[in-house]
Structure 1
Amino acid sequence: MPAVVESPTASTSTARRKLRLPRFGLFCCSLVLAVLAEYCAYLNEGGGGNVRRVLHVIALTVLFMVMTLIFERFIDWLGRDSKQTENDHDRLSIMSRLLRRITPDFTGDRRQALKAAAVMAVCWLPYYVLALPGEIWYDTVQQVLQWKGLPNAITSGAWSDHHPVLDTLIFGVFYQLGAWIGHPAVGVALYTTCIAIAAIAVFVYTVRYLARSGVSRRAYLGAFLFFCVFPFIPIFSMAMAKDAVFLPVFMLFSVQCMEVARTKGYCLKNHQTLALFIMLAFLVSLTKKTGVYSVALACILLAFVVAGNRARVKLLGTAATSGLVIFILLPLVLFPACHIIPGGKQEMIAIPLQQSALLLREHGDELSKTDKDILTGMLEPNAAENYEWWAVDKVKGTHWTQQRERLLGPFLQAWAKNAIKYPQTYAKAYFMLEQGWIALPNSIVNENLQSNYLYTRTASGKNTGEAGLPQSRHTKLYDGIDQFVIWLGNQFFMQPWLSRAFWVTWLPFMQLYETVRRLRAKELSWTYAAWLVPMLVSLPFMWISGGSVSPEGLRYLMPMLGVAPIGCALLTVQQQPSHADR
């Protein structure tokens, strides 16, 4: 790790005075968040109670402001590394001494890294045992059916790029290993073990990077504790789902982005580092459908903080190469050669499709015959009757037909034209779909995090039995776990921390707000502020997801959970990169 030199910290009185900036911006942002949250409640409850709505908005605005101020105090506490004297050490309790012996030294050698991995593995062990042979998602069942050449929800047996082909290959290989050994369940158990080991290694690597990059000791130990004990990290990191494959790759790519920013791009002069960055960019693009857009956005943002045009060319070249592979090489060369069906475009226009379905349902009689024919031809049959506010699946479908390709242009024109006529309908469809990211949990809609063991273990769906994947017989146990987590998330003191909105919107907002304040006060450099890039490239795709309150929403937010400690850690940086980094 390159050497770092100490820079002026936030302890000077001048800097403190600069940091006392007006809170008008915080008030405005909190007001917007409050209005959106209450608007979702208004949609769920069917309107009414204007005075009560205003009071709710005021209360929520105060809540968001108070939470942000508490976050600032929390960051200040993280940034203060306590120094213990020998007398303090002598007074430590037996438990405190034991914890000190268990805690790994993240600036140490490989032995300390193995120690950290062992500690995390012990913390994850209960979830691993509970999940065995593994958590299986509905999409995974379809991918295994494709591997076996059997009919599934997407194709009649052929492979499809509807789900990333690389993920299908990984799941298929483990499935086949299990089948050769004796039963597919063995393959699922092997996958669960391998992905858990990979995730633990990546999380430990991330904490070690933070520890060696100038963040406070409390910050990187807090990140390690979060990865160890926050239940949803191990639960979804070990799932047999494409997002669990994506997460470790994305975390490694995020660390490389952080290093590029920290060194202002000078690390890219090293050919091995550049090759690693490009390889991770490819893997991010290949393991998630929106990954290539995340790579492109990350490279563009990093281009603003690196020094020199050569570094910018390397970054933009990486983005262009990733796009060339995903949009040209795969669909035009590899897929035809391997008889793989390309994925449909309906995933990219899911929101317009959802809005159009509600438009047909509420204003179908008011539309022109031309617009109505275009919309009904583009949507799934009976989309207006089958419209579900919480998911887009019954509206967008899984197939992209020649008729849809022919109607795509006219559909987008009709959709845009009617957005002007019926903005309330479009807003209703959108915010009902994405309310999990902004609304507080309520009696009508549960936007909490959930253990989701029952859903993933039963792997319910058409042709599930033909896949040969294991299904749990202990549904009462898993249902009890799910109900307990839901109950816990509805308790007053636990609700914010187990709310999806907290991890997707509130915490990123607080991190971004505090970063901007410290940049304005010149307490933080852009090289470290750019550590928010992993969060910034994940956030936009949360807001175009196909279901924020559905079980699918749980795996969508996995990257946000992974990078959450990074945004807190960057605010405790006490050191800046020196010219030795170059």
Structure 2
Amino acid sequence: MTSKANRPCVQKLRCLLSVAVGILCAQSLAFRNVDSAAFDSFANLTAKGLDSIAQFGPAGSIALAACLGALFYRIYPNFKRVGKRNQLISVILSFFLALSIVVPRLMKLPNVSFNSFPNYVGGVPKWHKPIFWMVASIQLLTIGFTLAVIICWLMRKAADLVECRNTGEVSTAIPPTNLSIWERGVRFFDGKPMHMTVATLAMVLCWLPMLVIQGPAIIGVDSMVQLVQFRTGHVWDPMTMAELPGYVGQDHHPFFDTYLYGLFDELGLWLGQEVLGFRILIVLQSIVAALAIVVSLIWIKKRTNLPDSCICACWCLAAILPAFPMYMSIVLKDSTWVSIFLLWMVAFFEVIYRCNNNHAIGWRLVLCLVVLGLFSGLTKKLGIYVTTVSLLLAIIVIRKQFAAFLISMLVPAALVIGFVPMVVLPALDIAPGGPQETISVPIQQLSKVAILHQDELSKSDRQAIDRVLDIDHLKPYWQADSADYAKHYGYRLNASSSDRKNFILTWIRLFFRYPKDYIAAVPYLINPFVYGETYYYSGPVRCGWWEAGGSRILTEYPECGLSYTQGKIAIPLTNALNKTPPFSFIGSEALYTVWLPMLALGLTISIRRYRNLCYLIPTVVSWCSLFLLPAHQVRYTLSFLFVFALTIALPFAEVLTKERNISN
């Protein structure tokens, strides 16, 4: 124990250490431009470092350093109090989280720049320069050290919450007149219909200004394909550009969404103003999204011991963060799907909660999982695979309630994967989607190997590749930032299922011969896991496929043109949010795809609630699904943003004793 005489010295050392860490961490966050001449000499390094800090602004740099130093000073004592075990956990977590900030400097992507502050520009790393490794090490150590201290502080807070609930120190008899603002606010998440309605409508009202600014609607390329096919009957495969005569639509994009968007388009025409139909759709999907977020907060209030202040803060974040209404203003399958998936996640969490507490699942909950799983698969094809695999893993891990899990898993999968393509699509004269979509990553990787090592491949390997891909044709068009080019220019339409099977077997076998080329072929797969892109987005009212009939959709708006509010407010606002801390951080994709799940994992292990790790199953499955996508777009990780509150509450889900009952 430190004596009283030595305490001033210890405090001075802590103060100096905090100042040093704050300055180093601020410089580490501000420094960038790894593709420049910064690492040629210490003089260039100093000059480029000062330039980076100057771009942030001297006042901003000083403020960032002071805030980080003060934060470090306040919470550093917690690092010693959590014990060796939790210190090790925090160090491991902080290392991976720090990598998500440092790695963008090391990426070899000459033509790609991230949009958010500190606006790291990818380039060719100077691996041979010792200065390069020195800077990378300093960045990793300073950021990681600061994060480790913060994580230890979070561990102390989490342990205090759990201990307080276990010892029954939570007061439940507070007079209504003495309720705090948080206790008053959290009453809106008690599950009562009136309170649920108020919380939902209040969130939509908070979103309304952004919905107006983004208005009247944002219709991207994918949705334009669906609207053109629904309106004109001109059907083609948007990936291979092959005409599909005799069909009224194609399932490349989910047919359910096509009919949904088409019906609202027709509604607008019937009302005398086409855009009015899309405005109604945007309002409705905003209401459903807000309701889904409120339902998740209700579950958190009832099933976890997360503090009332945190629950209210989650509602405030969802209501105020522009990213939520920005994506609700888009006519897009991801925006339509994410609310359904969030509700499915709440139902999944309830199933895990009941299993962990030895309580029957009940047929209503099973029916809820079946219906939500079905619509999740109908609105986004990847959704059915995430829900099905998650339930399968839950059966393996939990080994309880087999009948309920099997019904929840098999019924939606059988309907979406079996009944729809074999019965529904033929009955509606809808062409199935191209089979190349499911093997996008193998196509991208094998095409690169075939281009670079064609002479080294065996005759059988070349034949297996050639039956699926036209390497000579796609070679000039191949690009590392997306597999769409390889699919578009290389995939052979006459490839059979047997050809694709042999192609996949060849892909698996050649991985062990060319692992570096496989990794180099898909550099975009790392993007969701590093600090760069944000969820702030705006775009034109309609864009794409004018030559195929797209000019007939919303004729009053120019091709790829912005509305007045989009051009004057939305685009400048998006650029400002991307480059202004802390908005660039709280809107960052990596915060929701990596930071929150990793912190939830670490806190769960720290407080020894190992059963709660089962709640992470859909997150892990969603992580794995990101490695199968043909390209990186922020909308592909939209589910991580919307389930943020459930992720935060995951370590605090209660594991009840036998004496306590579960309320319905």
- TM interval, shorter chain, is 0.7 to 0.9
Q: Counterpart of 2:29?
A: none
TM-score w.r.t. length of structure 2: 0.72
Could you say what secondary structure the match of 1:263 adopts?
A: helix
Q: Which runs of 5+ in 2 are unaligned?
A: 1-80, 111-121, 165-169
Answer yes or no: is 1:340 the counterpart of 2:430.
yes
The alpha carbon displacement at 1:27 in A equals: 6.5
Q: 1:134, 1:238 within 8 Å by CA — same for their partners in 2? A: yes
Q: Counterpart of 1:453?
A: 538
Q: Counterpart of 1:294?
A: 386
Answer yes or no: is 1:412 the counterpart of 2:504.
yes
The alpha carbon displacement at 1:560 in A equals: 0.5
The alpha carbon displacement at 1:305 in A equals: 6.1
The one-letter amino acid paired with 1:508 is P
Answer yes or no: is 1:570 the counterpart of 2:570.
no
User: What per-residue deviation string (whole Å, max 9, x for no partner) do you get for residues 311-344 of structure 1?
Assistant: 1222023222222223321222222222221222
Q: Counterpart of 1:246?
A: 337
Question: Per the alignment, do residues 224 and 169 of structure 1 end up closer, same or farther by CA in structure 2, a change over 3 Å counting?
Answer: same
Q: Counterpart of 1:197?
A: 287
Counterpart-to-counterpart distance in 1, 2:314 and 2:438: 34
Pairing partner for 1:168 from 241, 247, 258: 258
Answer yes or no: is 1:225 the counterpart of 2:316.
yes
Counterpart-to-counterpart distance in 2, 1:416 and 1:387: 21
Pairing partner for 1:279 from 359, 367, 371: 371
Q: 1:219, 1:569 within 8 Å by CA — same for their partners in 2? A: no
Could you say what secondary structure the match of 2:189 adopts?
A: coil
The alpha carbon displacement at 1:530 in A equals: 2.9
Larger of the two Rg values belongs to structure = 2
Q: Counterpart of 1:580?
A: 661
Answer yes or no: is 1:395 the counterpart of 2:486.
yes
Answer yes or no: is 1:260 the counterpart of 2:327.
no
Counterpart-to-counterpart distance in 2, 1:70 and 1:535: 23
Question: Per the alignment, do residues 359 and 21 of structure 1 end up closer, same or farther by CA in structure 2, a change over 3 Å counting?
Answer: same
Could you say what secondary structure the match of 1:264 adopts?
A: helix
User: What per-residue deviation string (whole Å, max 9, x for no partner) do you get for residues 394-426 of structure 1?
Assistant: 212398733254531332244334333332211
The alpha carbon displacement at 1:105 in A equals: 2.8
Number of matched pairs: 543
Question: Per the alignment, do residues 106 and 402 of structure 1 end up closer, same or farther by CA in structure 2, a change over 3 Å counting?
Answer: same
Answer yes or no: is 1:326 the counterpart of 2:416.
yes
Q: How does 1:165-564 map to 2 (within 5 A)?
A: 165-215=255-305, 216-264=307-355, 269-303=361-395, 306=398, 308=400, 311-364=401-454, 366-367=456-457, 371-372=461-462, 374-379=464-469, 382-397=473-488, 401-403=493-495, 405-430=497-522, 432-440=523-531, 447-455=532-540, 457-462=541-546, 463=548, 464-468=550-554, 471=557, 473-474=561-562, 478=566, 481-482=570-571, 484-491=573-580, 494-519=583-608, 524=609, 526=611, 528-548=612-632, 553-564=633-644
Pairing partner for 2:215 from 125, 132, 154: 132
Counterpart-to-counterpart distance in 2, 1:230 and 1:529: 28
The alpha carbon displacement at 1:376 in A equals: 4.8
Counterpart-to-counterpart distance in 2, 1:461 and 1:451: 25
Question: Per the alignment, do residues 326 and 53 of structure 1 end up closer, same or farther by CA in structure 2, a change over 3 Å counting?
Answer: farther
Q: Counterpart of 1:12?
A: none
Counterpart-to-counterpart distance in 2, 1:353 and 1:483: 38
Counterpart-to-counterpart distance in 1, 2:600 and 2:108: 26
Q: How does 1:46-195 map to 2 (within 5 A)?
A: 46-50=124-128, 51-58=130-137, 59-60=139-140, 62-64=142-144, 66-67=146-147, 69-71=149-151, 73-74=153-154, 105-107=188-190, 109-148=192-231, 149-154=233-238, 156=244, 158-195=248-285
Q: 1:434, 1:547 within 8 Å by CA — same for their partners in 2? A: yes
> Which 10-residue stretch deviates more, 187-196 or 481-490?
481-490
The one-letter amino acid paired with 1:449 is T
Q: 1:75, 1:568 within 8 Å by CA — same for their partners in 2? A: no
Could you say what secondary structure the match of 2:275 adopts?
A: helix
Could you say what secondary structure the match of 1:262 adopts?
A: helix
Could you say what secondary structure the match of 2:204 adopts?
A: helix
Q: Counterpart of 1:9?
A: none
Question: Per the alignment, do residues 268 and 547 of structure 1 end up closer, same or farther by CA in structure 2, a change over 3 Å counting?
Answer: farther
Counterpart-to-counterpart distance in 2, 1:530 and 1:396: 37
Could you say what secondary structure the match of 2:349 adopts?
A: helix
Counterpart-to-counterpart distance in 1, 2:135 and 2:628: 27
Alpha-carbon RMSD across the aligned residues, in angstroms, is 3.6
Q: Counterpart of 1:5?
A: none
TM-score w.r.t. length of structure 1: 0.82
Pairing partner for 1:22 from 62, 75, 88: 88
Q: 1:453, 1:482 within 8 Å by CA — same for their partners in 2? A: yes
Q: 1:253, 1:277 within 8 Å by CA — same for their partners in 2? A: yes
Counterpart-to-counterpart distance in 2, 1:198 and 1:400: 41
Q: Which runs of 5+ in 1 are unaligned?
A: 1-14, 441-446
> Which 10-residue stretch deviates more, 507-516 or 38-47?
38-47
